[in-house]
Each structure stands twice: as C-alpha cells, then as structure tokens.
Amino acid sequence: MRSRRRRGSAPAEEHVDERWMASYMDMVTVLMCMFIVLFAMSTVDQAKFDKLRNSLATGFGTTISQKVDTASGTVVPPELLTSDGQGFSTLDLATKEADRLSGLRDDMKSKLDAAGLGANVQFQVNERGLTVKLVGSQAFFEADRPELTGRASQVLTTIAPVMSKAGLEIMVEGHAANGVTSYPSTWELSSARSVNVLRYLVDHGGIPAAHIGAVAFGSARQVNDDSTEALMELNRRVDVVVLSDKPETVRALIPEALKAHAGQ
C-alpha cells in the first residue's frame, strides 16, 4: 500500500496569486504596439507621403500631376493606367479624348460625303464634345416651319449610328435668327425644331431616350450680326452636341490638345 502511494502522482497545486501575469503581459504587448505606431508616425518618409497625396488627388480629379509610379505604393485609378502600369497626365487624357471625338467627326463626315450630304453640315470639337451643326433653315426646315425636310432626315439617318455607337449623352440645341416669324417668338420656333430633331433621332436613329435632350436658345446665341440674308441663314441652325463624359479638368484641355496635335 505504501509503495502504491509513493508511485501515484500527487495533484497539482494551483497558485491563484500568479494569474495576474497574463493580464500584465497583455498590457505590455499593447503598450509596445502603441509605441511602435507612435514611432512610425514620427518618422514619415516625406517623399513617399507626397507621392501618395498627389496620387490620391489625381484620382479624385483635383490636381494635375505627371506620371505616377505605382510600384512605390501610390494609388492610381485603373482607368488611368497604360499597359505598362504608368499613369496618364491630364493633358494625356485630354489628347486621348480629342482623338476620340475627332474620330467620330471623321466617321460622320466620310459617311455624309459619300452620300452627297456634306453641304450645310459643319463640325466642331471643343471642351463640350463634338458639335454637328445643321446650318441654314432652307436646307433642313421649310421656311418658318419646324418640320424636317427630306435632306434633314437623310443627314440624321446617316450620323445617328455613329452617335449611337459612341454611347455618349446628346443635346440638341435650336437656334434662330432675328426676324419676322409666324410663331409667338423665335424661342418657340427654335424649340419646335430642336424637339423634332430629337424625336427623329430617338424614333428612327436608335438613340436611347435616356441619353438625349433638347433645348432652345431662340436668337440669343447668334454667330453673327444678321446684317445680310446670308448671315441670317448661318444663325438659323440646329446643333447636335455629342457631350464628352470626361471630368471638367480633362475637357478644359481638349482645345490645347487639338492645337498640339495640329502643330505636329
């Protein structure tokens, strides 16, 4: 019996007074982490911080910056990256947008010229986008009337597929010359004409109704002084504007990008 008791294991003793060490070690670990964070905050790499700040500002479209190296940890939106991982400057983006709008213009112009419809249609690329000017009421509308002529329908049928494929917002703007009209004012006449162009593009051109709108300016935005009948004809126009979807900072540089491209 004595030998059995000696060979048997004695129950382990609990030291309740040593449990405080677990809480103490947790507290020390937390304090160590806090001091590491404080030390890291007190030794910021100014160069890396500036890169991060500029990159974030560029991503939100508030700062013009040059190419950004993503390998150093700065953030660049995916749509602003080239295949080699480098970011575009704002002027690069404006040049790219100018090329896209110019491509739409050239596509429309070639199709109109091939159909013999290029006369009285003018194009302008600027910070708004691409403007297709239907100039001269004699060619596109009956005298003092809002209904489209056959030529106007043919022109719109020709350019509508190009605009629809681009997938951009479109604004139809009616303009009129000062003069006698059977309408209460030139506002009503220019409004009726712009709405008829809109309806034709939606009903026959395949333009989604959610992507197009119409506005009338009457005779408030003339391109000349109406001193002759020929000049009045230039003020009788409907502008179909394909609006750029880029940020304002990019669109503002489109004229500069066009000048640089023309000078090459």
Half-sphere exposure of 253 (CA within 13 A, CB side): 17
Give the span between the Cα atoms of 21 and 30, in whole angstroms. Answer: 14
Label residues 243-256 b or e (16+ Cβ within 10 Å = b).
Answer: bbebeeebbebbee
Question: SS3 breakdown of the chain: % helix, strand, coil, rounded to 5?
Answer: 55, 15, 35
> When comparing pLDDT for 145 and 20, which is higher?
145
Q: In order of start, what are the domains of the chain with their CATH numbers?
A: 45-87 (no CATH), 91-262 (3.30.1330.60)
Question: Residue 159 CA to chain centroid, in angstroms?
Answer: 22
Strand order of the sheet with strand 170-175?
121-125, 129-135, 237-243, 170-175, 212-216
In tens, the pLDDT along 146-187 reads 899 999 999 999 999 999 999 999 999 998 877 767 888 889
For residue 173, is it left (φ>0), alpha (ψ between -120 and 50) or beta? Answer: beta
Nearest residue to 213 via CA among 183, 249, 173:
173
Alpha-carbon distances of 264 from 97, 256, 257, 258, rounded to whole Å: 17, 13, 11, 10
Q: Are 141 and 148 in contact (CB under 8 A)?
A: yes
| Alpha helices by DSSP H, the chain | 2-7, 20-42, 46-59, 90-114, 137-140, 150-166, 186-203, 229-235, 248-251, 254-262
Q: What is residue 223's predicted lDDT score, i.e. its pLDDT?
A: 75
Nearest residue to 94 via CA among 243, 245, 252, 263:
252
> At residue 177, what is the residue type?
A
> When comparing pLDDT for 40 and 260, which is higher?
260
In tens, the pLDDT along 86-141 reads 556 888 999 999 999 999 999 999 999 999 999 889 999 999 999 999 987 678 88
